[in-house]
Amino acid sequence: MRTPRHRMPAESFLAVARGGGGSTTIDRLLAARHSRNLLSLRAVVDLAVRQRHPDAAPALHAWQQLGVLRAAHPAAARRILLYPTVGVWLADTFAALRSTDPARARPAALAQIAAAVAMAAGASVRVEFPTRSSMPGRLALPALGHVLLPPATSAIRLEVAAGAVTVDDGPTDGTSWSSLPRLHAGGGLDVRLDQLWSLVDPALAGPVSRAETTALHTSLAAAWRVLTTNHRRHARALAAAITMIMPVPARSPTTDDTDGLVSGTHPDGAGCVALSAGGDPPSVAAALVHELQHSKLAALADLFPLVRSGHDLRLHAPWRPDPRPLPALVQGLYAHAGVLGFWYRQWHREPHSPGVLHAQVEFGRLRSACRRTAEALLATDGLTVHGRLLVTEIRRAVAHWQRVPVPRTALAIARRAGERPGPGGRPPESRTGDPVPVSP
């Protein structure tokens, strides 16, 4: 297996460093993540075979089938291999195979990936893999839906043909299949509602409820109108990069966090945003932009290491009460700096709206936090050449925003908010600036 050699022009790297990067740059980042996932797949299969893992034979067979499907249907294969649940499964499986308890790994889940590619392409494939005593009544096919399983047997046989799936030669009346909910919006947004860990742990492959779907659709539709009206560049980038929303519970509102909105990302699940329903539309829109930045930087780090390996220095982060390791601090700086422009435009595009004070406060709070964090990072020796270039460009962009006058009332509120840990007093897990490892 060969993957392409990836190059990023200097102007593309600088565009990403400044918080932007158009569709061509996002395509480059996605291509790099696609190659990473392919190489990781091969590594998982090779490791399972070398260890004589119980799933080695079905994993190897599924890998061979996937190779045939990729050659015949490259677009469908790329779509499935880039789906966030595949990246998270790969990282977890590789770590489990190298741990002291490799038996917990499920390399045979590669058969589910091959079946998903065949189904997406309208091709035919038959896969078989052993069951586990703890397996629930359904299995996930990434980006598509869930297969409903018959009572436990020693093995599961899935057959995909003409865009449909059957289990153990079962009925073809649709009772064995449940599609993922999809949310659409004008301007190209098309996402699935799914559980990020559904390939890692079949017990988490249950469907998203109708109530969750309705609530998230309401929140996303209103936020998407804000983005397509006032922030079209961000809307285009989100439409290109985000393919999945993982519903998570909202927090109980507090004095400082009136909406309880929660969002997060996972570095191996680029393209997924964990999001709670609720929240005012501008705040939900800002959360989407924030999480997009995390996904972009995670993909950029596939190409360019940003922090020197083995560096264990921790520094204070204005948005967290605890000192952060350098990789998390770089991620937080990048994501927070990425929404500075959002709040500036929101403030000036809707100068008479009820939320204008909130936009001014967020702008004032974030530019101060980002300036301090960029300076602290650049004072260390923990950044690589590319990491230093990235943080330098962020500092330069923040310096531009420092020249923007902010009303005194908003600045006073921003300063008080900056004295408290967490973003504006929100709980640390809510838009903290780190990729939130949304785990089972």
Residue carrying structure tokens 């191996």: 268
Q: What is the rounded distance in angstroms from the CA atom of residue 322 to the CA atom of residue 433?
A: 13
What's the pLDDT at 260? Answer: 80
Q: What is the rounded distance in angstroms from the CA atom of residue 230 to the CA atom of residue 209?
A: 31
With 90 as the cut, is the pLDDT of residue 275 above it? yes
183 burial class (0-12, 13-18, 19+ CB within 10 angstroms)? middle
Please state whether the predicted TM-score (pTM) of the whole model is above 0.85.
Answer: yes
Q: Greater confidence, 121 or 350?
A: 121
Q: Out of 47-51, 127-131, 220-224, 247-251, which region has the weakest mean confidence (pLDDT)?
A: 127-131
Q: How many CB atoms lie within 10 A of CB 174?
A: 9
With 90 as the cut, is the pLDDT of residue 40 above it? yes
Q: What is the rounded distance in angstroms from the CA atom of residue 114 to the CA atom of residue 131?
A: 17
With 70 as the cut, is the pLDDT of residue 435 above it? no
Nearest to 395 by CA among 383, 411, 413: 383
Q: Which residues contact residue 205 at a Cβ distance below 8 angstroms, ignoring those fewer than 6 apart? A: 136, 138, 139, 140, 146, 195, 198
Q: Out of 188-192, 236-240, 418-422, which region has the weakest mean confidence (pLDDT)?
A: 418-422
User: Across the strands, what pairs with 185?
Assistant: 189
Query: Is residue 403 helix, strand or coil?
Result: coil
Q: What is the rounded distance in angstroms from the CA atom of residue 84 to the CA atom of residue 197?
A: 9
* Helices and strands per DSSP (H, E), number in the chain: 14, 13
With 70 as the cut, is the pLDDT of residue 172 above it? no
Q: What is the rounded distance in angstroms from the CA atom of residue 392 to the CA atom of residue 324?
A: 19
Output the average pLDDT for the chain. 87
Phi/psi at 121 (nearest 5 deg)?
A: -90, -10
What's the pLDDT at 322? Answer: 86
**Per-residue model confidence as pLDDT tens digits over 79-137:** 999 999 999 999 999 999 999 999 999 999 999 999 999 999 999 999 887 766 556 67
Q: What is the rounded distance in angstroms from the CA atom of residue 279 to the CA atom of residue 265?
A: 18
Residue 434 in tokens? 């780190």
